[in-house]
């Protein structure tokens, strides 16, 4: 079985991530979307909330599993017997960061390659932090996120008011 892991902070998952999943779900038997606790980022949603939102947003795809992990991605890939890491590329500015990360992962686990997928042009300006900022300031971001995320963002903003 060809298993790939799509790791990320997903705080929250956006239509940009869904686009990458729609494209790659045809290439693998199973994709594990895995939420990583990134210590360098201040998350709005808990790990559990992010996992829930991904489950709700991907329930139309039958080969997607949702999970989370702490620690090194390379150890997680080994545990899941994954053959690939999936990452999306939006603009050239993503490239350098992604290249370094893929090289580091290649050194740690040589048998796994990173597969890069270009984002649709309509998603190249979409980022989780941009969406959170716009939503918190009252902007309508409903066209950029799955319905479940739009709802939860609305609830979160009400709670934080």
Active site residues: 17, 41, 90, 128
Would you list which residues are annotated within the binding site for substrate? 9, 41, 73, 87
Beta bridge partners of residue 26, listed in sequence order: none
**12 is a site residue for ligand COA (CB under 6 A):** no
**126 is a site residue for ligand COA (CB under 6 A):** yes
Please, which residue, 22 or 63, has the CB nearer to ligand COA?
22
Give how far Cα 112 sits from Cα of 4, 5, 28, 74, Å. 9, 10, 14, 9
Interface stretch with ligand COA, choices 25-33, 55-63, 123-131, 149-157 (CB under 6 A): 123-131
Subset of 13-72 contacting ligand COA (CB under 6 A): 14, 16-17, 20, 36, 38, 72
DSSP E strands, 22-96: 30-36, 64-69, 84-89
Subset of 62-121 contacting ligand COA (CB under 6 A): 72-73, 88, 90, 101, 104-105, 119
End-to-end Cα, the chain, rounded Å: 47
β 64-69/3-8 pair status: unpaired
């Amino acid at each position: 079985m060809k298993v790939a892991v799509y790791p990320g902070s997903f705080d929250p998952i956006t239509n940009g991530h869904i686009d990458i999943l729609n494209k790659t779900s045809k290439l693998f038997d199973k994709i594990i979307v895995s939420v990583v606790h990134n210590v360098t980022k201040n998350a709005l949603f808990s790990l559990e909330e992010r996992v829930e939102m991904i489950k709700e947003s991907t329930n139309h795809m039958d080969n997607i599993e949702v999970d989370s992990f702490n620690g090194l991605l390379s150890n997680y890939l080994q545990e899941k017997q994954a053959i690939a890491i999936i990452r999306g590329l939006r603009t050239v500015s993503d490239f350098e960061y992604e290249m370094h990360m893929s090289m580091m992962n290649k050194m740690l686990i040589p048998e796994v390659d990173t597969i890069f997928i270009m984002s649709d042009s309509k998603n190249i300006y979409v980022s989780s932090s941009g969406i959170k900022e716009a939503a918190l300031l009252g902007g309508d971001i409903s066209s950029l996120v799955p319905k479940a995320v739009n709802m939860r963002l609305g609830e979160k903003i009400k709670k934080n008011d």
